[in-house]
A and B are shown apart, each in its own frame.
Chain A
């Protein structure tokens, strides 16, 4: 059974208390599951904080600036239960190892996204890594050579040079 990580825009949208106050899953929670071509990106991770930070740092490496990373961890069995197809497909981050952990959830319907959000809210794990840890991980990756500097977002890469 694999553990999947989905980077979230804002974990509070999936917070059960937030939903309870609204009377159901917040519509904004779906913004955490923005699809492209009916596909959604997740990463296969183990329950290893260092690996999780590394994956998130690699994802943030494609953004304009270093920022905290909020994420959901959920068991692959959720996908099986919802009939969601998934397959490994190399990611496009600046970290080649992390790219191998990328998994594509494909042929998604709106209902499946909604159900996935509800399942993650019910039995998933929501968390956040602050920007200082992300920056630390990015710098370490660059030093070790696991992160290709020239594949980072240009603005972000410049900020790392300062």
Chain B
């Protein structure tokens, strides 16, 4: 099941990058196209729907065996132990894996909450490394997708400290890790819909840091609906720069 989930992510990536279009799993509204989660566990972790699942099965069955160099690089490396959350714990049983994951996710969740709470007491300046940013970066590099799932929930929480959320988004954008580009991209695209202009501003900058041309149509859409004139111009400037890159 986890293999399918990862494959869905990579299907989106290939579609976006090779067709030059938008990720079909992300709409311009907040909610993705998820329709029917397979289980409560899936609902909590990754809201992919039946269409995406079917695409993933088709992808796994027909595309992977004939994968090109780039797809084999991205898809197969995704399953490498060093980047597989469960495999890092040397587990083989899927049920045991899930149990470990739940426990670890819970402790990660608490760690993140503490980190965000402590960030309120830290003076965070844009161009200087904060402890918050450093620690978050370490967690992101160490845990990848699971921590991104938790971060996605945190930054969309209306009670979260806006400055800490903004910093988190910037860390997500500038982290150098090809293997988490897709989940980071998805998280940032969703954050463009944040009710906070500060978060939307940071998200657009994070998308520029990510340097993913797939963000261009989303930035243009965001500009079209943006109420702040300055932010509208900023999104378009970033879209232009990504286009030129």
> Which A residues are within 8 Å of any B CB, using their own CB?
9-12, 15, 17-18, 60, 63-65, 67-68, 126, 128, 130-132, 155
The docked-state distance in angstroms from the alpha carbon of A18 to that of B201 is 12
CB distance from B205 to the nearest CB of A (A): 6
Are A17 and B126 in contact, with the CB atoms below 8 A?
A: no
Take A10-B126, A12-B197, A12-B198 as given contacts and tell me if A68 and B205 are in contact as well, using a CB distance cutoff of 8 Å.
yes
Take A130-B237, A130-B241 as given contacts and tell me if A15 and B129 are in contact as well, using a CB distance cutoff of 8 Å.
no
- Seed contacts A12-B231, A64-B129; 20 additional CB < 8 Å A-B pairs: A9-B126, A10-B126, A11-B230, A15-B197, A15-B230, A17-B227, A17-B228, A60-B127, A63-B128, A64-B127, A64-B128, A65-B129, A67-B126, A128-B234, A128-B237, A130-B237, A130-B238, A130-B241, A132-B241, A132-B245
Take A9-B126, A12-B197 as given contacts and tell me if A17 and B208 are in contact as well, using a CB distance cutoff of 8 Å.
no
Within 8 A of A (CB), among B195-230: 197-198, 201, 205, 208-209, 227-230
Instruction: Pick from A12, A130, A132, A155: contact of B230, CB below 8 A.
Output: A12
The docked-state distance in angstroms from the alpha carbon of A17 to that of B127 is 25
The docked-state distance in angstroms from the alpha carbon of A68 to that of B207 is 13
Are B201 and A12 in contact, with the CB atoms below 8 A?
A: yes
The docked-state distance in angstroms from the alpha carbon of A15 to that of B201 is 12
Are B127 and A65 in contact, with the CB atoms below 8 A?
A: yes
Residues of chain B within 8 A (CB-CB) of A17 are 227-230
Closest residue on chain A to residue B205 by CB atoms: A68
Closest residue on chain A to residue B166 by CB atoms: A10
Take A18-B197, A131-B209 as given contacts and tell me if A9 and B230 are in contact as well, using a CB distance cutoff of 8 Å.
no
The docked-state distance in angstroms from the alpha carbon of A130 to that of B238 is 8
Is B18's beta carbon under 8 Å from chain A? no
Closest residue on chain B to residue A34 by CB atoms: B125
CB distance from A17 to the nearest CB of B (A): 5
CB distance from A135 to the nearest CB of B (A): 12
CB distance from A65 to the nearest CB of B (A): 6
The docked-state distance in angstroms from the alpha carbon of A130 to that of B240 is 11
Are A155 and B241 in contact, with the CB atoms below 8 A?
A: no
Are A126 and B241 in contact, with the CB atoms below 8 A?
A: no
The docked-state distance in angstroms from the alpha carbon of A10 to that of B126 is 8
Residues of chain A within 8 A (CB-CB) of B227 are 17
The docked-state distance in angstroms from the alpha carbon of A132 to that of B197 is 23
29 contacts between A and B (CB under 8 A): A9-B125, A9-B126, A10-B198, A10-B201, A12-B197, A12-B198, A12-B201, A12-B228, A12-B230, A12-B231, A15-B197, A17-B227, A17-B228, A17-B229, A17-B230, A18-B197, A18-B228, A64-B127, A64-B128, A65-B129, A67-B127, A68-B208, A128-B237, A130-B237, A130-B238, A131-B208, A131-B209, A132-B241, A132-B245
Residues of chain A within 8 A (CB-CB) of B234 are 128
The docked-state distance in angstroms from the alpha carbon of A63 to that of B125 is 10
